[in-house]
Structure 1
């Protein structure tokens, strides 16, 4: 009796496209309701992120599926393949064979990237990974603290979606997304305009040169928006972030919250230099002995806040690298400083 041949799974690429566009439209609707003017609905913020990110991934999968002609080939590209296991070949060797069928789950972000690379489909993956991290991060927050971050998410997603639809799908975003696209466009343009105004204002606020790049990652502690600008009262008083950090405030354009900018800058720097001592890692950031701020970068042997550098960088006797704690030893490491002092006393 002939063995019954398994039917290969197939995939309707057009249905995938329809689901992708529906998810994006729903995400934009949730976004509008989460912002909501005077009566925002914070509970919609997380569903907005989920729908938007899921929609974009579905659109990516549609592109992969539509790159081949046969529905069975499309399914093979989109669904997770069966596990490949070794088996004896009867001659003392092994052969590797797939076991089981394609799974019901579809490929994740990492596998989508591999498929894109194989088909020469280009995308800015740094932004996609950033948005994925944002989505994962928001899953663990209270909705009220995500409104600003959702707004930033939508603004950053806009150019990715625009370029992908135009360059890879060869369609016009406005034609396939309709009103949802106009909402994203207006929001993106608004955020870009406000961001430019904030950047120009901070340029006049006397932020330490070494700390300026960390403004980009500072977020409002109330709504998590990155749209922060210097308090005009501080500017009018001629104060600077560098010299008046205990009273120089940032204002959130999104929710109006007012807070000191220096702790936000130092927090952003600290997160970039986080380490786990359980893995044997050493700290890469220290408290500066000159300005008493946690801004001294060990690798560069300089403080990003006050720009102070080490007078002595290596021991004149053994060449060992010196740190801040060695600066009172007149160019020697602790061992040779002790040996030198002992020699001088005996002499």
Structure 2
């Protein structure tokens, strides 16, 4: 077995052993080892995909050019520093590697939350980390490494991964079902439900304690992990920011309006530009137009003006004064 793969398997096994330990102090090392193990597995995939004699170029942060005896110039990996999580995700996308890394960022967040807020959040989050790691681990081992998970990880470690993921999935399904009767009234908000987090322990196991809730304002959100009740407005605002983070990033790069902005009426960061309304208070700027030219007002024109003039005619009239 290769040393990189050796280290990956060892890290995952140690993470599971740390989690099973009665010593609650080991929850931090459980998160660190599990996260490191998943990253190392990803790097093993890229190491194997690297061209022969390239010094594992796909996992190196630096490259250098060399000229072979035949005069052909090629690039090879240089130094010992290897790529990080975001670079791994990018290379996987470029190479169309059939591994879903969508939960990798959440794994990193959980590791960070446990390190920064332990012991308050550690026990609540480590099971979620294992559940998020399991499908990535399985897909890489089976599809990319052509191995059996039980053989590579050992039967005890693989059984522990399956058990923890199964328990978490059952509770997650129950939480999602409790939110199923709510009419979100917004495509963006409906897609953000999976990003609901507990403000106390950051777990995603948020359930609705009011079966009669038919709209957002009637929700009673309770964390199934720590038992704390959460303010729906705050949970929704943070969830929207996470769900639309990538869209806002792309918009900023292209000089466009952000996907999400502050609502000028309620002050929450819940105004969805794509829907032209606030999903918190339902305020919309539809129907607001310039009194002079009849052009629809933008959000900023409404926010910083009097709701009657576009920025151009606001400027023209101010000069006339």
In the alignment, the residues of structure 2 paired with residue 127 and residue 15 of structure 1 have an alpha-carbon distance, to the nearest angstrom, of 25
From 41, 48, 67, the counterpart of 1:59:
41
Cα offset for 1:229? 0.8
Contact 2:28 2:114 in 1 (8 A): yes
Mark the structure with the bigger radius of gyration: 1
From 166, 169, 174, the counterpart of 2:145:
169
Cα offset for 1:187? 1.5
Quote the residue 2:134 is aligned against. 158
SS at match of 2:102: helix
Matched, 1:317 2:306: no
Cα offset for 1:307? 3.8
State the TM-score, normalized to the length of structure 1. Answer: 0.68
In the alignment, the residues of structure 2 paired with residue 118 and residue 333 of structure 1 have an alpha-carbon distance, to the nearest angstrom, of 43
In the alignment, the residues of structure 2 paired with residue 152 and residue 142 of structure 1 have an alpha-carbon distance, to the nearest angstrom, of 15
From 231, 235, 244, the counterpart of 1:264:
235
Contact 1:316 1:331 in 2 (8 A): yes
State the TM-score, normalized to the length of structure 2. Answer: 0.72
Describe how 1:304-343 pairs up with structure 2 within 5 A.
Answer: 304-315=279-290, 317-318=292-293, 320-323=295-298, 326=302, 332-333=309-310, 336=313
Cα offset for 1:184? 1.1
In the alignment, the residues of structure 2 paired with residue 79 and residue 229 of structure 1 have an alpha-carbon distance, to the nearest angstrom, of 40
Cα offset for 1:212? 3.1
In the alignment, the residues of structure 2 paired with residue 77 and residue 133 of structure 1 have an alpha-carbon distance, to the nearest angstrom, of 28
Describe how 1:174-253 pairs up with structure 2 within 5 A.
Answer: 174-177=150-153, 178-205=155-182, 207-209=184-186, 211-231=189-209, 234-235=210-211, 238-244=212-218, 248-253=219-224
In the alignment, the residues of structure 1 paired with residue 157 and residue 191 of structure 2 have an alpha-carbon distance, to the nearest angstrom, of 33
SS at match of 1:125: coil
Matched, 1:47 2:25: no
Describe how 1:54-93 pairs up with structure 2 within 5 A.
Answer: 54-66=36-48, 73=53, 75-77=55-57, 80=60, 84=64
Q: Which residues of structure 1 form unaligned runs of 5+?
A: 1-12, 87-95, 341-347
In the alignment, the residues of structure 2 paired with residue 29 and residue 154 of structure 1 have an alpha-carbon distance, to the nearest angstrom, of 12
- Going from structure 1 to structure 2, the CA distance change for 1:115 and 1:321 (only over 3 Å counts) comes to closer
Cα offset for 1:281? 9.7
Contact 2:8 2:41 in 1 (8 A): yes
In the alignment, the residues of structure 2 paired with residue 76 and residue 337 of structure 1 have an alpha-carbon distance, to the nearest angstrom, of 60
In the alignment, the residues of structure 1 paired with residue 101 and residue 274 of structure 2 have an alpha-carbon distance, to the nearest angstrom, of 28
Quote the residue 2:107 is aligned against. 131
1:159-207 deviation line (CA, Å, top 9, x unaligned): 1111111111111112222211111111112222222211111122455
In the alignment, the residues of structure 2 paired with residue 267 and residue 300 of structure 1 have an alpha-carbon distance, to the nearest angstrom, of 18
- Compute the RMSD of aligned alpha carbons: 4.3
Matched, 1:32 2:20: yes
Quote the residue 1:344 is aligned against. none
Contact 1:65 1:74 in 2 (8 A): no
In the alignment, the residues of structure 2 paired with residue 135 and residue 298 of structure 1 have an alpha-carbon distance, to the nearest angstrom, of 32
In the alignment, the residues of structure 2 paired with residue 151 and residue 205 of structure 1 have an alpha-carbon distance, to the nearest angstrom, of 27
Cα offset for 1:47? 1.3
SS at match of 2:170: helix
SS at match of 2:3: helix
- Going from structure 1 to structure 2, the CA distance change for 1:273 and 1:56 (only over 3 Å counts) comes to closer
From 79, 103, 111, the counterpart of 2:79:
103
